[in-house]
Amino acid sequence: MLVPANGVRVLSALADDTRRAVFEALPQGPRSVGELAATVGVTSSAVSQHLKVLREARLVMVRPDGNRRLYSLDPRGLADARDYLEQFWPSALAAYSAALSSAYPTRR
């Protein structure tokens, strides 16, 4: 199975605690850098740097709104992460099934 390289980039982008907090603040709707900074508790400059990484991983998108920019979740990056993780699903289910079979052997 060919896995998009961006799936790994998504996981790497979310590995940082502050970056993940910025990302997790966006499902409620679009937010400005200032709003995200206040929510996460870091400077606007730091949020901007984290947003750049999240944009590169296609986890957030930006749109102009007057003199500010609003950031929201980008479904493309979420799909990349899902595609990456789904490659492990069949083996995880097989391991779970084997563990259940070992724990509860069939009685005859």
Span 31-78, pLDDT tens digits: 999 999 999 999 999 999 999 999 999 999 999 999 999 999 999 988
**Whole-structure pTM value:** 0.78
| Distance of alpha carbon 18 from the chain centroid | 13
Helices (H), 1-108: 5-14, 17-24, 33-40, 44-56, 75-86, 89-103
Average pLDDT over the chain, rounded to an integer? 90
CATH 1.10.10.10 fits 5-93, yes or no: yes
State the pLDDT confidence band at 7, using cuts at 50, 70 and 90.
confident
pLDDT given for residue 1 in this prediction: 47
Domain chopping of the chain, boundaries: 5-93
